[in-house]
Every structure is written in structure tokens, then in C-alpha cells.
Amino acid sequence: MTRSQILIAALAATAMSAGNVHAQEDAVAMGKAFALETCTSCHAVAIDAVNDAAPTFIAIANDPEKTAQNLTAWLIEPHPPMPNLSLTTLEIRNLIAYIRSLKTPD
């Protein structure tokens, strides 16, 4: 198993086993703060934001192919035009928590 596969599996397991609602709320808040600071040059990260350079976070959240595992892999080893931000495991977890919080209920 590669380093990326191990990290993806670990992050997915952490996300699935996180039963603490307060910790999840903190992750979402920290993910949003990080996204507003880091991602807004390309993505519309807030509900009312506009930026056509890359998919909006709401579009990503509602794309059924963008699972937590898929997003983790993308953030660990981004593909152009996404820059390699060298995110920490915590930053990735929080960013995914925020993105997933934007998903429109089915």
C-alpha cells in the first residue's frame, strides 16, 4: 500500500468514526476559515460567493463522485490546474468536513 493509500484510508476511517458532533462542528468551522483564506482565489467557497476559475465548493459537495476518499486523494496529490498546497492531514480533514457540510440534502 502506498503512503497516499494509507493516508486516504486513515482519513476516511477517521471521518466515518467521528461521532462527536462538537468536534465535527469545529472541523467544519476550521475548514471554512482555511478555505476562505486559501481557496478563494480559484473557488467560490462560501454559499454566496462567485468565482468562475474552478468548481464551486457547493458543486463539489453535490457531486456524487466527490466522496471523502476521492477528495482526500485529490488534495494529497492535486492535478493541474490545482496547485500542490502540501496540506496537513488536519487541514485536509477540516476542508473536507466544510465541503461536505455544503451538500444539499437529498
The full set of domain ranges for the chain reads: 3-101
Nearest to 70 by CA among 11, 1, 3: 11
Burial, 83: exposed, middle or buried (Cβ in 10 Å; 0-12, 13-18, 19+)?
A: exposed
Which residue has better confidence, 19 or 106?
106
Q: What is the 3-state secondary structure (H, E, C) of the chain?
A: CCHHHHHHHHHHHHHHHCCCHHHHHHHHHHHHHHHHHHCCCCCCCCCCCCCCCCCCHHHHHCCCCCCHHHHHHHHHCCCCCCCCCCCCHHHHHHHHHHHHHCCCCC
Q: Which range (12-21, 46-55, 90-99) has the least confidence?
A: 12-21
Distance of CA 67 to the CA centre of its chain: 10
Q: Which CATH class is domain 3-101?
A: mainly alpha
Confidence band of 83 (pLDDT split at 50, 70, 90): confident
pTM comes to 0.75
User: For 17-53, what is each residue's pLDDT tens digit?
Assistant: 545 666 778 999 999 999 999 998 889 888 777 777 7
CA 53/CA 25 separation, integer angstroms: 28
Residue type, 62: N
